[in-house]
Chains A and B, each alone.
Chain A
Amino acid sequence: MNFLLGYLVFLPAILAGGLLVHQLWGGNQPARLLFKFGLGAGLGLGMTSLVTFILLLTTNTISGFFPVQLLLLGCGLALTWHNWKTSPLLPVKFALTREQKILLSAFGLILLVMLSAYILYALMTPSGRFDAWMIYNRAARFIYRDPPNWRDLLSSEMYWLFHADYPLLIPVNVAGAWNTLGGEIMRAPQAQSAYFLLGIFCILMGAIASLRSTGQSLLAGIALLSMPVFFYTAAREEADLTVAFFMLAALALLFFYNRERTAVLAVLAGLCAGLAGWTKNEGLLFLLTGSFAWMLTFHQQRQWQDMKWYLLGLALPLAVILYFKLFLAPPNDLFEQSSSAGLGEKLTNLERYRVIAESFFKQIFAFGNGKVSILLLAVYGLIVGMDRTQNKGQPIPAAASAILLQLTGYFLIYVITPHDIHWHLNTSLYRLMIHVFPSMLFVFFVSIAGPETILAISPNPSISRRF
């Protein structure tokens, strides 16, 4: 029962997000609807967290969580009802080729297997894992158990290990869910993680199906399914999938914007970048790298006038983050414990660069904890080749540069870390890879030739309308 309640408590936010994104950005092609549902799920959860946090800040209560969700859902339903004829929600008819059906069957079977493994693992991990108790659910307990004094969770007396300066997207929603359910139901944080994983699949597959082909989208989904790390991370209630979600969303939106030049896509991308920053400190870095990718695209397309829309989307989360960081949060351990002399020494110590580079390479080649590795995907890409015709004019360099800059930022953080470098790498690097991997997979599958090209079949033979 708790399992079910944990999932149901976030459902209004997810449905609201999906409906509102659909109202802002029309189109009822199946692939686009899938993308919008995934995007809406994360944005619904993110917006709920932001508004609930503002209410917590002003009223010192967490009881606003569920009414905020219902309010968002009410808006979504009202707009959907009002615009039912101009912006229909039901997907247009589509059909698959024989080869696409085979791929869909393979995807379905692998999904079934991974879902079974996820459920078993999640059942055995009712309280999540280390980071959940240390950071996110701990912070949620401070809020839920003593709302009038919730600011204690940001006390400078809190040992640095607890990362009291981390932004609060996840803890606010978890505390709100517990408040709604009337108890510390540990399945709620697990459900929130699972929704972000679901969102990653929907965005990855919906975007690739829209931008490339159904077969390529199914293949990308299969590749992601083959990586157990995403499934056990979801069960462990860590925030890394949430960062991965917002990174992927902001970069996928870049491709849609490139094709459609619709201002609302820039608004949604700004919101995604901001919510990445409201999730974790690493997301703050994406605020810079993701914005860089968007600025590069605005510059290349001479569309600087749309920058205001991106900034509009960014405004609310950025304002909340700035207030949180400037007036509430204690200093970050990485910078508080570093002296300028120590920093200089670390930056000029080549041995540190060697150790970090070695760990990065090992992690990149072993990432996923399954049989399909990044190296294997790279070999696959080399064999099937790039789809040069379709890649022309796509913002692939902008998206790739955001990912590379993000990785470079992570690399430099390890260079200057005041903690033991081996301990720091061993305990965090695989999680940082989770942040960038879905985006890497997206750029990879958007760039290379799809199954339809390989098998020399028509990509969308009987979809009623091409998009």
Chain B
Amino acid sequence: MYPLLKKLALLFLVLLSAYSSVTYLVATLHDWNPRLITNDGVYDWDVRLADLREDLPLDVKVVGYVGEWDVKSEYDYPDNETEYVLTQYSLAPVIVARGGVHEWVVVNLGAKDFEIWAQTQPADMKVFKYRQGIYLVHKP
């Protein structure tokens, strides 16, 4: 191969790498949001579940979890998955198992869906209601 072509290829690789890094920096600057430094979605979810965590007795090792994916035929899978994962992350070291069969159940549903789900549950269950469609249910 011609020596000049090799030299040009070398130069091109270095320049393209430089260009690649600058475009990445520009894109990151474009997305810059100082609120996220302290309050990202994980922090917000931790805050959302703070009261629930306090109400949950300390000796509870496993709770159930009911979300839209348990009561609706059509739901946003990534949203459901993310909220479930964040709930487990927030409540650790309590295990958050899928489904509503446990004595204590975290329910993440809108008011209407919660009413429909509650009708399928024991009448004497105790319900703690929190902000933004979060419930803690105790089934004696």
Contacts and interface: CB of A to CB of B under 8 A. Distances in A.
A158 interface: yes
B85 A106 contact: no
Contacts of A222: 13-14, 17
Contacts of B115: none
Given A124-B33, A372-B16, A383 B5 contact: yes
Contacts of B31: 124
Interface stretch (B87-95, B103-111, B123-131, B132-140): B87-95
Interface in A214-233: 219, 222-223, 225-228, 231
Contacts of B97: 157-159
Contacts of B82: 130
A137 B32 contact: no
A153 interface: yes
A103 B40 contact: no
Contact of A113 (B13, B22, B61, B62): B22
B14 A125 contact: no
B42 A152 contact: no
B10 A384 contact: yes
B19 interface: yes
A114 interface: yes
Interface string A136-160: 0110011001100110110101110
B17 A383 contact: no
Contacts of A455: 7, 10
A interface majority secondary structure: helix
Contacts of B89: 133-134, 137-138, 141
Given A120-B28, A123-B37, A159-B97, A372 B92 contact: no
A372 B32 CA distance: 24
B75 interface: no
Interface residues of A, number: 58
B50 interface: no
Contact of A127 (B3, B17, B40): B40
B21 A113 contact: yes
Given A133-B86, A383-B9, A117 B28 contact: yes
Interface in A426-453: 449, 451
A449 B86 CA distance: 49
A397 interface: no
A162 B21 contact: no
Contacts of A374: none
Contacts of B73: none
Contact of A120 (B5, B29, B98): B29
A337 B42 CA distance: 30
Contact of A152 (B1, B13, B95, B98): B95
Given A117-B28, A385-B1, A126 B36 contact: yes
B23 interface: yes
Nearest to A133: B89
A231 B25 CA distance: 11
A134 to B, nearest CB: 5
Contacts of B95: 152, 155, 157-158
B3 to A, nearest CB: 7
Contacts of A153: 92-93
Interface in B48-87: 61-62, 81-82, 84-86
A161 B18 contact: no
Given A141-B89, A152-B61, A372 B20 contact: yes
A461 interface: no
A183 interface: no
B29 to A, nearest CB: 7
B112 interface: no
A419 interface: no
Interface in A193-223: 219, 222-223
Contacts of B16: 226, 371-372, 376
- List 7 tightest A-B contacts by C-beta distance, closest first: A226-B17, A371-B20, A127-B42, A370-B20, A141-B92, A146-B93, A124-B36
27 contacts: A106-B18, A110-B17, A113-B25, A117-B25, A124-B31, A124-B40, A126-B38, A127-B42, A133-B85, A134-B89, A141-B93, A142-B92, A149-B93, A150-B93, A152-B95, A158-B97, A162-B85, A162-B88, A219-B13, A223-B17, A228-B21, A369-B24, A370-B20, A370-B21, A371-B20, A372-B17, A384-B6
Interface of B: 1, 3, 5-7, 9-10, 12-14, 16-25, 28-29, 31-33, 36-38, 40, 42-43, 61-62, 81-82, 84-86, 88-89, 92-93, 95-98
Given A133-B89, A152-B93, 12 more contacts: A117-B28, A133-B85, A138-B92, A141-B93, A142-B92, A146-B93, A149-B93, A159-B98, A161-B85, A223-B13, A370-B24, A380-B13
